[in-house]
Homo-oligomer: A and B are copies of this chain.
Amino acid sequence: MTGSDARVGDLDERTVLAHILDRVGPTGALLGPGDDAAVLAAPGGRIVASVDTLVHGPDFRTAWTDGFSLGWKAAAVNLADIAAMGARPTSLLVALAMPPETTLGEVGAIADGLRAACAELAPGCAVDGGDLAVSDTLTVAVTALGVLEGSGPVTRSGARDGDVLAVSGRLGPAARGLSLLFERFRDGAGRPIPPRTADLTADERGDLDAQLRPRPPIADGRRAAEAGATAMMDVSDGLLLDAARMARASSVTLDIDSAALGGDASTALTGGEDHALLATFPAGVRLPGSFAAIGRVREGAAPGVLVDGEEPRGRGGWDPYQDWDRGRG
């Protein structure tokens, strides 16, 4: 029995794998899934490679998300890392570790989400390989690969005095969506319960969607590289925290203009998980794609971040080792 209610612990690996491969769709690989390794084209002789993991507990709660959203998010956060180097994502490799009670339907939904995110955010990128494992903790570790096309890579360390600091993508919605879940969708004992979207306003539904299925502006990564971006990274843990990393890597001060951050500047400064692209461009460059200026680069005695010329308070972001409350659900 291999219906969508079948549990992977009652099936063999080959059956589970076939169910996934039916879904992840056509691969552009020279050799796709099914052998010991995939063979991928690397035109130009360089590739960009990154890995990011979603773990049940610190990174998602099963009551709050679903397989499709989980697959989508696992793809999106990794595509953003490749885009943030100025590269075009070409391949995902997915290590999926699942409890035996995971159903084939859930596995298929994860695969559908991976494919849909690639199709919408990074056309031409596909799941070209992976690994199946069993685990007490549902874990999706995705390796993303990409190619540099002439220009790039754009590192975090190239920001220079006088550059414009700019962002493409949204800052804040994913964090507001997470707050909604913690504040509105827990039972009396604090346990996660499925969100009832009928109880939400349109804005709140947008925030929840941004948390569960982020849409980083992947194509703007290449555009930034072509436009001459001097530094770039994706904002995964919060603008203040990530900008401080760029500031340290570049030995500069990044001065953020809070008025450029929209009506909820506080959340824009500290909220993570939108995976917007943060980049610096030489002054006078026409900002590409959806990039908009949010500040400027200054030489500083000690590298760091200022907001409206002043030092911000607090850590300003998420640290997995300090901030997970050990909850799952």
CB of A139 within 8 Å of the partner chain: yes
Number of interface residues of A (CB under 8 A): 78
CB of A284 within 8 Å of the partner chain: no
Contacts of A10 in B (CB 8 A): 321
The answer to whether B44 and A48 touch across the interface, beta carbons within 8 angstroms, is no
The answer to whether B35 and A49 touch across the interface, beta carbons within 8 angstroms, is no
**When each residue 258-275 of chain A gets 1 if its CB lies under 8 Å from chain B and 0 otherwise, what string results?**
000000000000000000
Contacts of A133 in B (CB 8 A): 53, 55, 58-59, 320
Give the residue name and chain of the B residue nearest to A81 (CB).
B36
CA distance A133 to B141 in the complex (A): 10
Contacts of A141 in B (CB 8 A): 51, 53, 95, 97, 131, 139, 141
Contacts of A100 in B (CB 8 A): 321, 324, 326
The answer to whether A93 and B50 touch across the interface, beta carbons within 8 angstroms, is yes
Give the residue name and chain of the B residue nearest to A153 (CB).
B39
Instruction: State how many angstroms separate the Cβ of A131 from the closest Cβ of chain B.
Output: 5
Give the residue name and chain of the B residue nearest to A323 (CB).
B134
The answer to whether A49 and B97 touch across the interface, beta carbons within 8 angstroms, is no
Residues 110-149 of A contacting B (Cβ, < 8 Å): 128-137, 139, 141, 143-146, 148
CA distance A52 to B131 in the complex (A): 6
Contacts of A137 in B (CB 8 A): 97, 135-137, 139
The answer to whether A55 and B85 touch across the interface, beta carbons within 8 angstroms, is no
Give the residue name and chain of the B residue nearest to A318 (CB).
B13
CB of A233 within 8 Å of the partner chain: yes
**When each residue 50-84 of chain A gets 1 if its CB lies under 8 Å from chain B and 0 otherwise, what string results?**
11110111110000000000000000000011101
Instruction: State how many angstroms separate the Cβ of A60 from the closest Cβ of chain B.
Output: 12
The answer to whether B38 and A49 touch across the interface, beta carbons within 8 angstroms, is yes
Contacts of A146 in B (CB 8 A): 37
The answer to whether A46 and B57 touch across the interface, beta carbons within 8 angstroms, is no
Residues 266-289 of A contacting B (Cβ, < 8 Å): none
Contacts A36-B156, A133-B55; is A321 near B42 (CB within 8 Å)? no
30 residue pairs bridging A and B, Cβ less than 8 Å apart: A11-B321, A12-B319, A16-B321, A34-B249, A36-B156, A37-B144, A38-B48, A39-B46, A39-B47, A39-B148, A40-B46, A41-B45, A42-B44, A42-B45, A43-B45, A49-B91, A49-B93, A49-B129, A51-B129, A52-B131, A55-B133, A58-B134, A95-B143, A97-B141, A100-B321, A131-B141, A133-B320, A134-B324, A136-B137, A143-B143
